[in-house]
Amino acid sequence: MIVVIAEKAIAARRIANILSNGKAEEKRKNNALYFDFLKDGKLWRVIPLSGHIVELDFPQHMKDWRQTELMKLVDAKTEKRIKMQNIVSLLKENAKEAERIIVATDADREGEAIGLEAVEIMKEENPNIEVKRALFSAITEQDIRDAFKNLKELDYNLAMAAEARQQIDLVWGATLTRFLSLVANSTGKNFLSAGRVQSPTLALIVDREKEIKEFKPKPYWEIQAELRKESKFIALHKKGRFFDEKEAKEIFEKLKNESKATVTKVEVKKSRLKRPTPMNTTEFLRAASRLGFTAGKAMSIAEELYQQGFISYPRTDNQSYPDTLNLRAIINKLLSVKELSKDAETIIALGKLNPSQGKKTKDHPPIHPVAAASKERLSREQWKIYELICRHFLATLAEDAIVRNTTAYLQIKGEEFVAKGKQYEKLGWRAIYPYLSSEERILPELAKGDTVDVIKIEMLRKETKPKPRYSQAALIKLMEALGLGTKATRHSILQKLFSRKYISGIKAIKPNNIAFSVTDTLERFDSKIVKPEMTAKLEEEMSLIAAGKKKKEEVVNESKEMLRKVLKELIANHEKIGKALKEALRQDLILGKCKCGGKLIIRFSAKGKRFVGCTNYPSCTITFPLPQKGTIQKTEELCSYCKMPIIKLIQRRKALKFCINPECESKKQKKEKEENTS
């Protein structure tokens, strides 16, 4: 018997159907799924795992947070625990009859480690089983058949790199999380998490927010002329920003009654807007975030599409299509997708295919479609992601866009103004990829010596603005540049920060009070935790394990030595740290002022239900109910009718503002009804 190990059920089903020509039989034992078929006179059995079937953990006697010394936790010998007993039992049972195991999990570090877990379990029962590896970047018929015809060896170094990450992240995360939660007296559901990648990522968000809060706007003025020659257009004074109001006012007073402007020069330059490079994971997550997807949601949908055989593997750093990829065959498949057929025809009409190229790695190929999908077959969100990937792929094969940039210089009573126009001479890839603005600014035909009408001249007061808050797209790009996490983990790091309520915001990420306190505390007493350098160094070390240049144990021990130094400093200052964290937690719960002078704060009943109460209880017994699901944020706004705080509720990426007083709206409606009746 030959046993094939797949990572998940959907992938196992496709692999079994391809290898068996659709004749695989689906079976179950103790609710563990598997697929059987005969091939070349032998029984083949495809067994899907459910991701990791074992997990790394501390010994049972170290589970009690309060009874376990943190320094001992750093040096504790971790154990592998079974997560999926029914799947493990199925693997052991089949090991006795198996002559070969073919690992067909995802072709990356994590997939290698997941496959090795199954191999080790089966080898306990039968040490003589032959082990092979099927490597593929897409679950299509051609890719799967090719992978199983050209089997490789299991990459133990790659698996060890993944295991090193698991062990390092477990020890760092558990130690720092337990320390912060215990000193802040915030355990149970409200524990404070920290981690090797999580903490420096949070620090980036907090530091940007500090810049925004500390930023002092500086006023400036612009002098703008609205002009007309057949059509209206806008010109700005050539100086742009006037930081001296007096200077701006003098020029404005000089010009405000003028009725004519003279064109002194017209410059026309053409520029080329280059088509995008093939899509790697970072660029995919950035593009998906512009469509409103969180990084975690986008990756989850991409994985679904990959497992269904519609796109290639979505975790890659590569931005250059391999020579072996049949680009024309992919385009031909997209001809059958009605929403994409015209754009696919546009690419075919170009003749020779000449894709753009970016960073080239030995990784999986860039993310691209591998099969046609209909809009009706996919969910709304799946279709949006699939269409994004298809359009990006087609855009990499399209022509560059050509832009005609016109700059007109005009004089009004000796003062020079500048008008800028932008028109597309060729849309090229922009016609295929509609996710970026292609807005044009049309100027009328202007030539040197022309006289145009001045409709009005305005002096506009504006203020300088701070850098914007990070979007998920910008943050993921920055994490990549700083070496924080990997293509496979960055989206989950952000997801964790959202779930722990350290950050909020859909388009712009904002840290909550506790994020400031945790970051400031770690920074004050050991800044290495919140700086990217140490984390980036460990990422490099794990890459050396994958390359066979370092041993797992060596890198794990180095990371533990780093952690010991960090922990020693934190323990020495635990009282100050605890005080700061407790105050931050309290501030995060305050929603506003009570009419009695106290503070309205989020409280929890004995049954864990949240509600609003007053800090002056029991002398003030005011209470308001709260929704039990979703993230609650204070807004600093007051209800115009009852003067109670307005709060924001975030549920499933949607935000809703409302007054905490449940009777407020009904009173308002009652009053309006009475007024309409009288």
- Number of Cβ within 10 Å of residue 70's Cβ equals 19
The dihedral sign for the CA sequence 615, 618, 624, 626: positive
User: What is the length of the chain?
Assistant: 678
Could you tell me the strand order of the sheet in which 610-614 lies?
590-593, 599-604, 610-614, 623-625
CATH 1.10.290.10 fits 281-395, yes or no: yes
The 3-class SS string of 13-53 reads HHHHHHHCCCCCEEEEECCEEEEEEEECCEEEEEEECCCCC
- Could you say which of 34, 220, 306, 313 is catalytic? 313
Which pair of tokens denotes residue 381? 């969100």
Reported as type and span, the H/E element at residue 1 is: none
What is the structure's pLDDT at 678?
54
Amino acid (1-letter code) at residue 586: R
What is the structure's pLDDT at 51?
86
The 3-class SS string of 542-573 reads HHHHHCCCCCHHHHHHHHHHHHHHHHHHHHHC
3-state helix, strand, coil in the chain (%, to 5): 40, 25, 35
- Residue-range domain boundaries for the chain: 2-49+84-154, 163-213+469-581, 219-275+401-463, 281-395, 592-677
The 3-class SS string of 402-422 reads EEEEEEEEEEECCEEEEEEEE
Give Cα separations from 551 to 163, 215, 302, 554, 561 (angstroms): 11, 47, 33, 5, 16
CATH 2.70.20.10 fits 219-275+401-463, yes or no: yes
The Cα 280–Cα 363 span in angstroms is 10
The Cα 456–Cα 258 span in angstroms is 8
Give Cα separations from 180 to 173, 325, 503, 567, 581 (angstroms): 11, 50, 17, 11, 8
Which pair of tokens denotes residue 535? 């984390």
What is the structure's pLDDT at 311?
95
First to last CA, the chain: 87
In sequence order, what are the residues at sequence separation of 6 or more whose Cβ sits closer than 8 angstroms to the Cβ of residue 457? 223, 224, 225, 226, 252, 255, 256, 258, 412
Residue 313 annotated as catalytic: yes
Full-model pTM: 0.83
Pick from 56, 163, 15: nearest CA to 551: 163
What is the structure's pLDDT at 676?
65
What is the structure's pLDDT at 634?
80
What is the structure's pLDDT at 223?
97
pLDDT in tens, 204-241: 999 999 999 999 999 999 999 999 998 999 999 999 99
Residue 618, preceding peptide bond in cis (omega within 30° of 0): yes
The CATH label, of 1.20.120.1200, 1.10.460.10, 3.20.10.10, 3.40.640.10, for the domain at 163-213+469-581 is 1.10.460.10
What is the structure's pLDDT at 677?
62
What is the structure's pLDDT at 354?
94
The Cα 329–Cα 348 span in angstroms is 11
pLDDT in tens, 501-513: 899 876 889 998 8
- Angle at the Cα of 275 (from 274 to 278), degrees rounded to 5? 130
- Positions in the chain short of pLDDT 70: 506, 652-653, 665-678
pLDDT in tens, 238-297: 999 999 999 999 999 999 999 999 999 999 999 999 999 999 999 999 999 889 898 889
Torsion angle (degrees, nearest 10) of CA 244, 249, 251, 253:
-170
3-class DSSP state of 184? coil
Which pair of tokens denotes residue 443? 């100027």
Pick from 398, 401, 366, 369: nearest CA to 386: 369
What is the structure's pLDDT at 373?
95
The Cα 590–Cα 581 span in angstroms is 15
What does CATH list as the number for 2-49+84-154?
3.40.50.140
